[in-house]
């Protein structure tokens, strides 16, 4: 089954910790040699998403920091079905909220979870990626294929066993691990208490998600209550019994610190 899906790239942050490397995270250069200077983080990601998710009847929305206006367009010339909105938001969750609101602006609000498909005109699912998430083509393609199998009310997180983050967001499942099975139902997000029955079966979020459009009422509620972090919203989804799956791959890169840049270039060189 091929689902109706739009794509969102979240690039609302400037990337203050990368200031010594680049003034804007989305425009972080990904080439070391001559002639590679035009390959920047946001361009690579959009190329990847459009090539791997091609053939759908959705479009791609780039939600970018307003400081990027007049700077990012030159890198995205030639792309079709790419829309850019510029925002000033206090957090990635707010950027996500405004992006979802933009995509669903002409639709009736989706129904709550477990009550069937969204109303007519709403995409069943929205594929969302943080701009600083670097994933292998094959891994991302497998995740997208898994997302095609989701029911209208189900969501999925791309997760990894590779931990290289100051504050990794852990995802837990009570299901027994089965070799060759990448997707597991999510039972908890965060750091469980010591007396929990999860054992050591945690994986780490990789900054790529496939959200059911049915999550929008919860997202609106969380924003109204003052929530600011995406990790808290993900935890709230599970706590409120929204069905979520973790699809796990071996390694991804989160380009968030200057030291991540060299690792990202090595990772991309290894893939080429």
Q: What is the pLDDT of residue 255?
A: 82
- Measured in residues, the chain has a length of 272
Task: Determine contact, residues 86/69, Cβ cutoff 8 Å.
Answer: yes
Give the pairing type, strands 82-87 and 60-65: parallel
Question: 122 phi and psi, to 5 degrees?
Answer: -90, 140
Query: Per DSSP, what are the bridge partners of residue 126?
Result: 6, 211
Phi-psi region of 84 (alpha: psi -120 to 50; beta: other; left: phi over 0): beta
Number of domains in the chain: 1
3-state DSSP call for residue 42? helix
Q: What is the pLDDT of residue 29?
A: 84
CATH number at residue 88: 3.90.550.10
Q: What is the pLDDT of residue 14?
A: 65
Query: Mind giving me the DSSP string for 127-174?
Result: EEEETTEE--HHHHHHHHHHHTT--TT-EEEEEES----SS--EEE--
Domain that holds residue 81: 5-271
How does 117-142 read in b/e, with b if 16+ C-beta sit within 10 Å? bbeeebbbbbbbbbbbbbbbeebbeb
Q: What is the pLDDT along the chain (272 residues), one digit of tens a residue?
A: 444 468 999 998 766 666 666 778 888 888 754 444 568 999 999 999 998 876 555 689 999 999 999 999 989 988 888 999 999 999 999 999 999 999 888 676 544 444 444 444 456 799 999 999 999 999 999 999 999 999 989 999 999 988 776 788 999 988 765 555 678 999 999 987 676 777 667 899 999 999 999 999 999 999 999 999 999 999 999 999 999 999 999 999 888 777 777 787 888 776 65
């Amino acid at each position: 089954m091929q689902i109706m899906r739009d794509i969102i790239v979240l690039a609302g942050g400037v990337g203050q910790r990368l200031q010594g490397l680049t003034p804007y995270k989305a425009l972080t250069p990904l080439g070391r040699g001559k002639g590679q200077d035009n390959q920047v983080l946001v361009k690579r990601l959009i190329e990847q998403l459009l090539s791997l998710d091609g053939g759908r009847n959705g479009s791609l929305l780039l939600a970018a920091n307003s400081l990027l206006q007049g700077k990012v367009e030159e890198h995205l010339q030639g792309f079709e079905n790419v829309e850019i909105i510029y925002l000033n938001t206090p957090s990635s969750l707010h950027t996500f909220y405004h992006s979802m609101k933009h995509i669903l602006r002409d639709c009736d609000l989706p129904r709550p979870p477990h009550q069937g498909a969204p109303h007519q005109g709403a995409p069943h699912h929205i594929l969302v990626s943080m701009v600083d998430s670097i994933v292998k083509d094959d891994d991302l393609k497998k995740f997208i294929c898994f997302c095609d199998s989701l029911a209208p009310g189900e969501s999925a997180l791309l997760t990894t066993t590779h931990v290289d983050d100051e504050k990794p967001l852990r995802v837990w499942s009570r299901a027994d691990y089965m070799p060759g099975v990448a997707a597991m139902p999510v039972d908890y997000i965060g750091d469980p208490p010591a007396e929990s029955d999860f054992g050591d079966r945690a994986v780490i979020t990789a900054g790529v998600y496939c959200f059911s459009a049915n999550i929008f009422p919860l997202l609106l509620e969380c924003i109204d209550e003052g929530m600011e972090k995406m990790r808290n919203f993900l935890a709230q989804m599970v706590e409120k019994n929204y069905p979520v799956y973790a699809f796990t791959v071996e390694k991804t890169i989160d380009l968030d610190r200057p030291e991540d840049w060299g690792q990202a270039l090595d990772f991309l060189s290894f893939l080429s």
